[in-house]
Amino acid sequence: MRRAVSVRLPAALATAAVGIAVVVAMPTPQASAAVGSATGYATQNGGTTGGAGGQTVRATTGTAIHAALCGRASSSTPITIEVTGTINHGNTTKVSGSSCNTAAGVIELKQISNVTIIGVGSGAVFDQLGIHIRDSSNIIIQNVTIRNVKKSGSPTSNGGDAIGMESTVRNVWVDHVTLEASGGESEGYDGLFDMKDNTQYVTLSYSILRNSGRGGLVGSSESDLSNGFITYHHNLYENIDSRTPLLRGGTAHIYNNHYVSLHESGINSRAGAKAKVENNYFRDSKDVLGTFYTNERGFWQVSGNILDNVTWSGTGSENYPAGPNLTSTTTVSIPYPYSLDGASCVPDIVRQTVGANTGLRVSNGSCSPQTPPPTTPPPTTPPPTTPPPTTPPPTTPPPSGTNLSLGASADGSSKASGTSYGNVRDGNISSYWSPAGSTGSISIKWGSATRVSRVIIREPSGTQGSIGSWQLVNHDTGAVLASGSGAGPISFSATSLSKITFKINSSSGTPRVGEFETYAS
């Protein structure tokens, strides 16, 4: 850090009691999920859904969070952990199990997938205790406060990062969190939101980062260039020395953020990084965009930003500010839809929406705060508008005969992180395969020629309608057996083959195949 950060914490935070709560992980009777849906780059690479569809448990200690992870059937079994109370060193111990790899003194999300951690009740505060994500995918962290995590002094946790990600991390959505320190490196703190060693497809939204020397980085050195595809939107960066963020290589989309009191530098794009920086509001700050502390230059595309009392240093060795006249030096194509608020209203919309325990409100793109419904609202058992018939027909009538896929094998094109080819032939509609992009193919195969005349493609609950146009192909000969649009039953002339391929040519959102059933008749 290049200068100390002067902070004054609210009295409620400064005097919060640090107690040891009873370890508890209680299943809740109704499933809950993260509020709203992932945005930005976290929607790519198969999407980010966290623990949706899995069990929901309640935890009041760090040990209980670890116990919930370790109590799953596998390291990828979906789970939502609702957290309330203060999580600290005194109540966070290591828990062992085949579905987890935890450690004391840190919330360890290591070698796991499909997890949501969400603050509920009167709030969740991780006091001097960081969250470490390593070798993991499909993680959601929402509505929590993480404060005063140290890398030196006592106690220490997570290398001094409030949230740190490293070593092949994919698809993380961090939303409506408050990340704060009480100074910079000389006071024992490091970054608030750090990513390194092959971390990709991450979104940070509607969050507060404040009172720290370092906001966060992407890439730990000029040679750590395997990270990227990060979105930062509708966040408040306040009283930060630098790194809002520091980008080493990769691509970032930075929009509708409010930056206040950046003392040394702001968005630091270097080592070939590309940043799309649009409709942000910078106030009372210095060198808010450029390449700093290195001669390895980065690039930016700028539009719609407001500079309010921003000062600039002169260009020189290892100092290349983008201002005072912001000019684009590259172009960045964004693969997902998004709605931009006008920069002039960013301070107001950010003030009304960011941080933990503020109602999880979001913007609708017209500077108006909205409260999103839960992704999967719990049932309230209202009387149905139209009473169902006594014996309703199933959506897809069951075919006669045996599902030949149950005894077969499966393969396909590149799959999204956290999914498996075998999930389409396991008889479980809640598990699924998803392509790495919006198109792809999945195949069922047998050791010898098998007669097939009917296929049923089933989508997991809640994802119906994402599959667009498709072809069903005899993989042995390349012949197209059928084509159409949408999932469901497919009939064709009986054919003997050893491998049959369902090829998705277009989709709306992220296509998922829960079951690829095959029948002789």
392-401 long-range contacts (CB < 8 A, ≥24 apart) are 396/456, 396/458, 396/488, 396/489, 397/489, 399/454, 399/456, 399/489, 399/517, 399/519, 399/521, 400/519, 400/521, 401/519, 401/520, 401/521
**Is the CB of residue 135 less than 8 Å from the CB of residue 196?**
no
Q: Dmax over Cα atoms in the chain, in whole Å?
A: 79
**Measured distance CA(201)–CA(430) in Å, rounded:** 23
Token pair, residue 199, equals 């971390």
Catalytic residue among 134, 243, 248, 458: 243
**Measured distance CA(267)–CA(230) in Å, rounded:** 13
Nearby residues of 374 by Cβ (< 8 Å), 6 or more positions away? 32, 33, 35
Pairing of strands 480-485, 469-474: antiparallel
**Measured distance CA(291)–CA(315) in Å, rounded:** 10
**Is the CB of residue 82 less than 8 Å from the CB of residue 123?**
no
In our burial notation (b when 16+ CB lie closer than 10 A, e otherwise), range 439-465 reads bbbbbbbbeeebebbbbbbbbbeebee
243 is catalytic: yes
Give phi and psi for 219, each to the nearest 5.
Answer: 100, 125
**Is the CB of residue 499 less than 8 Å from the CB of residue 444?**
yes
Identify the three-state secondary structure at position 249: coil
| DSSP state string for 163-208 | EEEESSEEEEEEES-EEEEEE-GGGTB-BSEEEESSEEEEEEES-E
**Measured distance CA(166)–CA(181) in Å, rounded:** 21
Beta-carbon-side half-sphere exposure of residue 183 (alpha carbons within 13 Å): 10
Per-residue HEC secondary structure of 31-72 comes to CCCCECCCCHHHHCCCCCCCCCCCEEEEECCHHHHHHHHHCC
Choose among 119, 229, 208: nearest CA to 165: 229
Choose among 72, 150, 160: nearest CA to 116: 72
Residues β-bridged to residue 308: 283
Beta strands in 62-157, from DSSP E residues, in sequence order:
79-87, 107-110, 113-127, 131-134, 137-142, 145-147
Catalytic residues: 243
